[in-house]
Amino acid sequence: MKVVKLGQGTQWTVYATCNADGSCPVLDFICDLDTKRGDKILADLQQYVPHNESRQWIQTEFSWSLRGSDKIYEFRWATKKGGTPRIMWFYDKGKIVVCTHGLNKKGTMDESEIRHAESIAEAYGHAVKTNALQIVEYTEFVKPNKEES
């Protein structure tokens, strides 16, 4: 399994998982948002999360645990209208946050989304145990293809 290292700070390292085809659902979700909101979400994952303790995330209502799961959480960015952008994530040992995917959602999280994040967490755990985890730096992952330049 491949993960993209989004940020590393004094408190946490933040990864985003990739699909088998090499795409990254978290980064795809961010790219599909309007530029201002996408930039804010990426900046939070690269700078705010890695440099702050998790209790600060909760105090600012930035992070929530999800009903129906003891290991999946969400980061939330409140909006005045429309769905709320959310990134699903889980903890790993060594002060690691692993983001699975993002979605715009009003109200409570669908159980299918939670189960999807849990299946990614299980695959991630298996990759860690079998030394099959490939970590790619964000700058390498988003580097433009030479053919496109």
Residue 14 counted as domain residue: yes
- Secondary structure percentages of the chain, helix, strand, coil, to 5: 35, 30, 35
pLDDT exceeds 80 at position 144: no
pLDDT exceeds 60 at position 149: no
The pLDDT, as a whole number, for residue 116 is: 97
Quick count: other Cβ atoms within 10 Å of Cβ 132?
Answer: 11
pLDDT exceeds 90 at position 11: yes
Residue 105 counted as domain residue: yes
The pLDDT, as a whole number, for residue 18 is: 98
pTM for this predicted structure: 0.92
Q: Tell how strand 73-76 and strand 63-65 pair up.
A: antiparallel
Quick count: other Cβ atoms within 10 Å of Cβ 101?
Answer: 20
Residue 20: is it exposed, middle or buried by C-beta count within 10 angstroms (0-12/13-18/19+)?
exposed
Residue 12 counted as domain residue: yes
Residue 64 counted as domain residue: yes
Residue 147 counted as domain residue: no
The pLDDT, as a whole number, for residue 145 is: 55
Residue 145 counted as domain residue: no
Q: Domain count for the chain, please give it.
A: 1
CA 93 from chain centre, in angstroms, equals 16
Residue 126 counted as domain residue: yes
How many residues are present in the chain? 149
The pLDDT, as a whole number, for residue 146 is: 47
| Residue 135 token pair | 């970590």
pLDDT in tens, 82-122: 789 999 999 999 999 999 999 998 888 889 999 999 999 99
pLDDT in tens, 29-67: 999 999 999 999 999 999 999 999 998 998 888 998 888
Residue 146 counted as domain residue: no
**Which residue range forms the structural domain that includes residue 22?**
2-139
Report the distance separating Cα 149 and Cα 136, nearest Å.
Answer: 21
